[in-house]
Amino acid sequence: MRLNMKKRWIQMGTVAVLILLLTACSKQKGDTSLNENDMTPTEIEEEEEIMIPIEDLLVTEDSRVAPVYDEDTGRIHFQGFVYELKEEEAIIADYDWIDTEELVLPSSFTYQEKEYPVTTVGQEAFFYCSEITKLTIPSTIQSLETNAFYGCDELKEIVFEKGLTKIGNAAFYGCDALTEVTLPEGLLHIGSEAFCSCTQLKTVHFPDSVKEIESEAFFGCSAMESITLPESLTSLSEGLFSECESLAEVNLPKNLVLVGNEAFWYCTSLTKLNLPDGLVQMGEKVFYNAGIVELTLPSSINGINQDTFDGCDTIKKLYVEKDDVERYKQIFEETEIEILEKQ
């Protein structure tokens, strides 16, 4: 049985209680009624530690067989999970223990003879849970909140059943063991830093339902070699693929209109990129310290300046429409970039 770190502290607290009770019994023989003035700083600190209600120490064992309601938090403990009830839905807010490496989240929770669908994994619910190697998210769950699986560094596989619409900020931040992720159809939103620092993540498969991927969602995914973005996406947010050092191939959606600041910052393996017709604006330092050597700019672009290529010392040539040659020569006249007509 692998216990949550919080439960390890509770176990330690139980031991402390027993030691202090034995100490108190031995002191009663000499009629020593201690107050804080008679106690050493260490004894005062130990006295404060045992103020945890004894019934809290029993929650884990009792909740194995029946739901246990915690009056202080308003949460319900049952079979290792900690739930919050919200109207007609249940939220997994935390966990007490994980007794399997292959975790299947529950799709429902029954309390007082009423069944609640589990729709959300709450903020920091499985924060730094190193026990999980495989995770299955059922179709009832619609949202993974901020830091939901942050730092689950042994997590190697995620099975998403169709139903999820939101992956919150930093939901899988630092899940170093992930190598491939297939996101479910119907997913709409991927939050900031959602897969940041997943250093072994090589492949991500997107459904065409994704409408928004927020800033730095894949920052520091240093093993990622190629990516094909969904056609439903119209903008690349700031720092989206920053420090993806192995990224050599990016397939952009046809409807893309905006590439945000530092989108490909330090993508040192990225030597070429096909920009789609219809692209309107590119931010600052998009290719900072990237490997881009030459680039063809579509005629639709009207928001671009020399700061777009600031720090990109490798780029030597920009290909533009005949009518745009002079305009771009003026924009980049203080750089070493050569402006050429598209053939």
Query: What is the tens place of the pLDDT at every residue in 282-321?
Result: 999 999 999 999 999 999 998 887 889 989 999 999 999 9
Q: What is the pTM of this model?
A: 0.82
pLDDT of residue 64: 84
With contact defined as beta carbons under 8 Å apart, do 129 and 103 qualify?
no
Query: What is the tens place of the pLDDT at every residue in 36-57?
Result: 455 555 444 444 443 334 345 4
H-helix segments, the chain? 5-28, 41-49, 59-62, 325-331
Place of tokens 């502290």: 9
Hey, what amino acid is at 340? L
Q: How would residue 157 be classed by pLDDT, with cut points 50, 70 and 90?
A: very high
Degrees to nearest 5, angle at CA 218 with 217 and 222: 160
- Which pair of tokens denotes residue 297? 């700019």
Tell me the mean pLDDT in the region 104-110: 97
Residues facing residue 166 across a β-bridge: 143, 189
